[in-house]
Structure 1
């Protein structure tokens, strides 16, 4: 039997891409998924899709850049199901630009979402997990947290940050407190991110990369694998990327 079955899983950035694919996959394994994102229409549609397939899902409109919003998300999950077994920190933003263009607005958006959003989610969920004596935190990182590519300096820096906090959490709350902390580092994925790049040159580079991309469903399989492990085994990091990606 799957270790995911009957567990309560909170997923940020769940309205599309990796988050949506992971929600569908985990619900198919018997998980009770709580979907968090800003777009209520997409959340409603995804919950309906999961329920129509026989799964269990609910949603809470969430802005990960607002810490009170994430406190509300955790309170909602506990009210609905009595606990949180897993947190999938997935909401992320990838905006390409060269340093010389000084696109400070894009930098701040990535810092708010990719760094503060993860910290706010951990701050909201971790006390509940420590009180329970168990839980799983899965942080979505990137191969950009291993290698810095062109036009991606700030984005890569946010993913190096995620790598750092994941390792620190694993040592502090994983070893002694029973909270398993994992990370997945995907390569190029076709999630529509290339169209969100505001810088013209960055958008061109992003679209070129996207031609070799893997699917969100392939990454969702890795998410399910990481969360399906027993309490005595923790997946530290899974690196998954297109075969044709050379970094």
Structure 2
């Protein structure tokens, strides 16, 4: 059964990778979507592509680290479609470095996007969902939020934060307001992240790890599964990883 038909979703980090694959997968199930990302040209190209199939998808350029922009995103979704039923908090950064490298720029970027960015988006949509007395917040987590890998200390810490935050939301928002909250925890996914690691040794480790990666579409299918449940069912955390990943 398709519980997603005509729902309104806001998807962040939507211009590429898991975000773009999620937009495509949700659009195929009749979801009306506001797709947000910081890369406006790539975002517009993706939306044009998906829209050719008749889907209702609109782009909204936004930096999730900017609370004014995320509030504008929520307001735009409400103005365009009259509601916000789903938030897919997906925009994120995975940057590897060793502690002795003291890569503070990378640390701060991950905290700003992976933690503050998620909180900004939640703060923007949550009042609408409380008013509607319904909603679903899906936070993209990671297997790194379950166990810590070498050279990924700050990234793992940011994803442990997401796990803890979501469990708290589930217990409060789900129980008291009927607003579902859950996480998807991907393993190694080929989103081009490995080439974005600025630390040379970290980049080498990331590229080696990426050899076993699965596709963003695999994760998007998991997102659809988690979202496409009856209102009284919450998939708390769904781990999806490559068969050959040994952690």
Structure 2 length-normalised TM: 0.99
1:149-160 aligned at under 5 Å gives the runs 149-160=149-160
Aligned residue in 2 for 1:25: 25
Aligned residues: 247
Q: Say which SS state the counterpart of residue 204 (structure 2) adopts.
A: helix
Is it true that 1:56 corresponds to 2:56 in the alignment? yes
Aligned residue in 1 for 2:196: 196
Between the aligned partners of 2:59 and 2:227, the Cα distance in structure 1 is 20
Aligned residue in 2 for 1:185: 185
Deviations 1:126-169 (A, max 9, x none): 01000000000000000000010010000000000000000000
Between the aligned partners of 2:77 and 2:90, the Cα distance in structure 1 is 17
Unmatched tracts of structure 1, length 5 or more: none
Unmatched tracts of structure 2, length 5 or more: none
Shift of 1:176: 1.4
Between the aligned partners of 1:226 and 1:140, the Cα distance in structure 2 is 12
Q: Say which SS state the counterpart of residue 88 (structure 2) adopts.
A: strand
Is it true that 1:85 corresponds to 2:88 in the alignment? no
Shift of 1:245: 0.5
Aligned residue in 2 for 1:234: 234
Q: Say which SS state the counterpart of residue 205 (structure 2) adopts.
A: helix
Deviations 1:31-89 (A, max 9, x none): 00110001111111111111111211001110001011100000000000000000000
Q: Say which SS state the counterpart of residue 176 (structure 2) adopts.
A: coil
Structure 1 length-normalised TM: 0.99
CA RMSD after TM alignment:
0.6
Is it true that 1:215 corresponds to 2:215 in the alignment? yes
Aligned residue in 1 for 2:245: 245
Between the aligned partners of 1:227 and 1:56, the Cα distance in structure 2 is 18
Q: Say which SS state the counterpart of residue 139 (structure 1) adopts.
A: strand
1:6-155 aligned at under 5 Å gives the runs 6-155=6-155
Between the aligned partners of 1:45 and 1:196, the Cα distance in structure 2 is 21
Between the aligned partners of 1:92 and 1:205, the Cα distance in structure 2 is 19
Query: Runs in 1 of length 4+ with deviation above 6 angstroms?
Result: none
Between the aligned partners of 1:54 and 1:147, the Cα distance in structure 2 is 41
